[in-house]
């Protein structure tokens, strides 16, 4: 069930809205949460009910590991070596479980294919159907475990935790929301009462997102798909049209869906963090990742880059940590080398930015007119989106060849 589908807009959403606030109006807070969790699981199951046990088992295991970590943190003395060891073991078990889960369902074919190539083996592919939203609810639950380890949160209610994971506005495509950001809002009684200003604003935001997705993104998708799906070599204008169409499609599709999620959550009294901030006006790749999929950028920074050491050991180690973080971020998007290379492509430009800050040429870049920097970064980002969308490296090369090396062709009647 998609946010822009008729069954969602005209059936699921109004029914969920009315019953949720009716139960809260009757002071049936627990019942309202149970209903919202049940509705969210129904929303998830609409696509394929066979994967309902997957998200349920994932929630149960992560919840109890998080509770165990919280109890160790609460009861043990922090100077005790056993305390530190128990925390690390529990966190390690939780992270290993989540990596194994997403690794099996999302990356098994990718690993088998590469193993077969490396060893000349012929192991059969599993060809599993990718479970809906597994990337998002896995990252969200890993963050919950790490935050429990850091003593940032304590959650002993499985109902609250289930609501945190399954809340339908953010379940499918984010934004990636932290427990400490969302769950206190459900405990605030003001948010259980219908707020007409919130609803008006929510409908406005949702409508903007719907317009972005259905009108703008889907229109550009026609031109982008035509270019990527063709079997003939693209000429200059065709290659540029394909590239720029996909650049526009991806932004309006993803930001539109995020706007709809933010609007839906606000209808139910919950405020989500902003996830996009005019990313195509960025003046560097660092600036871009502060504007594009902001919640993912923060997740990668807080749970991969900083634990790896961040920038604490000099430029060389910082560069290594950036490339590892962006490579993992690329792989998170999809099980293909094109996604890994896409992540490393962005990582290289981020590394170059930090390296140039330490040399005299950075002053020259700082004085470069802003519009020139925006234009350069926009086209470098657009090239990366070709890699992101391409089925393989060969297709990426063919389109890139059309952009830079083919001759412009004109038809004269």
- Residues that are catalytic: 333
Q: How far, in Å, are 114, 261, 319, 327 from residue 323 at the CA level?
A: 21, 31, 6, 6
Sequential DSSP letters for 20-76: HHHHHHTT-HHHHHHHHHHHHHHHHHTT-GGGHHHHHHHHHHHHHHHHHHHHHHHHS
**Cα distance between residue 286 and residue 156, in whole Å:** 38
- Look at residues 190, 240, 271, 166 and name the one whose alpha carbon lies nearest to residue 407: 240
Q: How far, in Å, are 107, 148, 227, 353, 392 from residue 336 at the CA level?
A: 9, 32, 20, 27, 8
Q: How far, in Å, are 94, 110, 177, 328 from residue 117 at the CA level?
A: 31, 11, 38, 21
Question: For residue 248, what are its two tokens?
Answer: 């526009």
């Amino acid at each position: 069930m998609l946010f822009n589908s008729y069954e969602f807009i005209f059936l699921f959403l109004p029914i969920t809205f009315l019953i949720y606030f009716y139960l809260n109006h009757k002071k049936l807070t627990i019942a309202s949460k149970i209903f919202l969790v049940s509705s969210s699981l129904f929303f998830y199951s609409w696509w394929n009910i066979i994967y309902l046990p997957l998200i349920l088992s994932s929630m149960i295991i992560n919840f109890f590991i998080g509770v165990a970590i919280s109890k160790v943190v609460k009861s043990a003395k922090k100077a005790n070596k056993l305390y530190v060891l128990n925390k690390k073991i529990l966190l390690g078990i939780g992270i290993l479980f989540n990596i194994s889960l997403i690794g099996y369902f999302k990356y098994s074919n990718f690993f088998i294919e590469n193993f077969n190539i490396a060893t000349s083996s012929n192991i059969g592919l599993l060809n599993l159907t990718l479970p809906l939203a597994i990337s998002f609810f896995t990252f969200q639950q890993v963050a919950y475990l790490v935050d429990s380890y850091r003593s940032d949160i304590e959650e002993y209610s499985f109902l609250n935790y289930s609501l945190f994971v399954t809340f339908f506005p953010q379940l499918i495509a984010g934004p990636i929301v932290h427990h400490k950001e969302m769950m206190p809002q459900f405990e605030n009684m003001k948010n259980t009462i219908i707020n007409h200003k919130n609803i008006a604003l929510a409908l406005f935001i949702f409508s903007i997102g719907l317009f972005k997705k259905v009108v703008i993104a889907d229109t550009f998708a026609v031109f982008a798909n035509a270019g990527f799906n063709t079997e003939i070599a693209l000429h200059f204008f065709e290659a540029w049209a394909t590239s720029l169409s996909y650049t526009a499609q991806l932004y309006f599709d993803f930001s539109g869906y995020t706007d709809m999620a933010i609007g839906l959550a606000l209808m139910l009294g919950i405020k989500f963090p902003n996830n996009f901030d005019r990313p195509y006006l960025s003046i560097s790749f660092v600036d871009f990742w502060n504007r594009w999929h902001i919640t993912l950028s923060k997740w990668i920074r807080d749970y991969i880059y900083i634990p790896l050491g961040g920038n604490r050991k000099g430029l060389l180690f910082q560069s290594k940590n950036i490339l590892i973080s962006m490579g993992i971020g690329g792989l998170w998007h999809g099980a293909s080398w094109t996604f890994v290379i896409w992540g490393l492509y962005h990582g290289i430009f981020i590394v170059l930015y930090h390296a140039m800050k330490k040399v005299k040429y950075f002053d020259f870049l700082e004085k470069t007119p802003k519009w020139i920097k925006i234009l350069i970064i926009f086209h470098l980002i657009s090239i990366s989106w070709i890699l992101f969308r391409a089925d393989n490296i060969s297709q990426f090369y063919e389109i890139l060849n059309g952009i830079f090396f083919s001759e412009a062709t004109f038809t004269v009647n």
